[in-house]
Amino acid sequence: MGWVVHSHGALYAQEYGYDWSFEALVAEIVARFVQRFDPRRERCWIAEREGIVVGSVFLVKKNKTVAKLRLLIVDPEARGLGLGGRLVGECIAFARRQGYRKLVLWTQSELLAARRLYEKAGFYLVKREPHRSFGKRLVAEVWELKL
């Protein structure tokens, strides 16, 4: 879980100029996942390549019928291998097996590679909202996938 928090903080600072508050948000999400983990309805996938952690994604319960895809990340050294799509696919397959009816996620409009993965997996954009977070002006997006 420490890798997830550190990697998000370091990568998003380097690639997008996000400040320390983004890493703090990721730490809160991870802590909440660990403290409230429901093994029947939630999962975290940690991807490894040759024994080195290179990616992760979380699926958390929002309510009885809706789950949230959270904290998708792929290390730059592992990009282009199809890992992001596989992680998203694992989330979708698990959500379907557990009987969720909808999968939702929150992202930023500037995260183009992630947005392409979501769109390719069948998610559709339902809301856009400008905001100021992580030391930047951003446009938050909510995406949904009916299962």
Q: Is residue 62 part of a domain?
A: yes
pTM equals 0.93
Q: Is residue 120 part of a domain?
A: yes
Domain count, the chain: 1
The pair of three-digit structure tokens given for residue 73, joined into one six-digit string: 């990340």
Q: Is residue 21 part of a domain?
A: no
DSSP-derived pairing of the beta strands 102-108 and 66-74: parallel
In terms of residue numbers, what domain contains 136?
39-146
CA-CA distance, 72 to 66, in Å (whole number)?
A: 18
pLDDT of residue 80: 87
Q: Which of 130, 89, 90 is nearest to 108 (CA)?
A: 130
pLDDT of residue 52: 93
Between the two ends of the chain, the Cα-to-Cα distance in Å is 28
Q: Is residue 57 part of a domain?
A: yes
Q: Is residue 77 part of a domain?
A: yes
Q: What is the CATH number of the domain that holds 140?
A: 3.40.630.30
Q: Please name the residues in contact with 137: beta carbons below 8 A apart, sequence gap of 6 or more.
A: 130, 131
55 burial level (CB within 10 Å; 0-12, 13-18, 19+): buried
Q: Is residue 12 part of a domain?
A: no
Q: Is residue 114 part of a domain?
A: yes
Q: Tens digits of per-residue pLDDT, 83-133?
A: 999 999 999 999 999 999 999 999 999 999 999 999 999 999 999 999 999
